[in-house]
């Protein structure tokens, strides 16, 4: 048959240790989604320093990752709260509630409603949203200028403020 040879297939590399940690953490958090700190993140309730300490404790005690994994998670996600939120996302109702004040007293056009639904979808899946994404696809599918082509300047400022508030609630 011949001698053994190793081949590298593009796109089939082994996941890094941190990627494995993320996958394990996602499964652990899904199984513990009703833990008070995780629940607060899913429901967009503000975290306290005690909640963050509790998240760190449950990660340490679960044996999912080591101190280096937790440090990298904090460093790459602006804190442990945002890392966990990126894995568990926001409940859809919490995302809608976050945008609820924006909708009050406004009559929106169909494209504006669809635009806001995309934001809700993103928050539901990823837990937070960088306002810069409002100027990329799929948001530029509504207007080449992104959010600025769909809403008035004052409304854009309000949306950006809401997105920042959602992010801050996970920081603690």
CA 123, 68, 37, 81 dihedral sign is negative
If you write DSSP's letter for every residue of 108-167 in order, what string do you get? --HHHHHHHHHHHHHHHHHS---GGGGGSTTGGGT-TTGGGGTS-HHHHHHHHHHHHHHH
If pLDDT is split at 50, 70 and 90, which confidence band does 154 have? very high
The residues spanned by each domain of the chain are 17-88, 92-171
Summarize pLDDT for 103-148 with one digit per residue, the tens: 999 999 999 999 999 999 999 999 999 999 999 999 999 999 999 9
Identify the CA nearest to 44 among candidates 84, 102, 104.
Answer: 84
Summarize pLDDT for 1-48 with one digit per residue, the tens: 667 777 666 665 556 788 999 999 999 999 999 999 999 999 999 999
């Amino acid at each position: 048959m011949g001698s053994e040879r190793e081949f590298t297939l593009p796109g089939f590399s082994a996941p890094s240790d941190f990627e494995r940690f993320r996958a394990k953490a996602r499964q652990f958090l899904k199984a513990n989604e009703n833990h008070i700190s995780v629940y607060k993140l899913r429901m967009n309730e503000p975290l306290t320093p005690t909640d963050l300490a509790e998240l760190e404790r449950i990660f340490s005690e679960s044996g999912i990752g080591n101190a280096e994994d937790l440090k990298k998670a904090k460093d790459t996600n602006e804190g442990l709260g945002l890392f966990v939120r990126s894995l568990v996302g926001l409940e859809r109702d919490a995302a809608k509630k976050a945008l609820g004040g924006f909708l009050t007293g406004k009559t929106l056009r169909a494209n504006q409603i669809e635009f806001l639904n995309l934001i809700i979808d993103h928050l539901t899946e990823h837990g937070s949203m960088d306002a810069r994404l409002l100027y990329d696809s799929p948001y530029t599918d509504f207007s080449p200028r992104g959010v600025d082509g769909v809403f008035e300047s004052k409304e854009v400022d309000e949306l950006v403020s809401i997105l920042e508030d959602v992010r801050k609630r996970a920081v603690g």
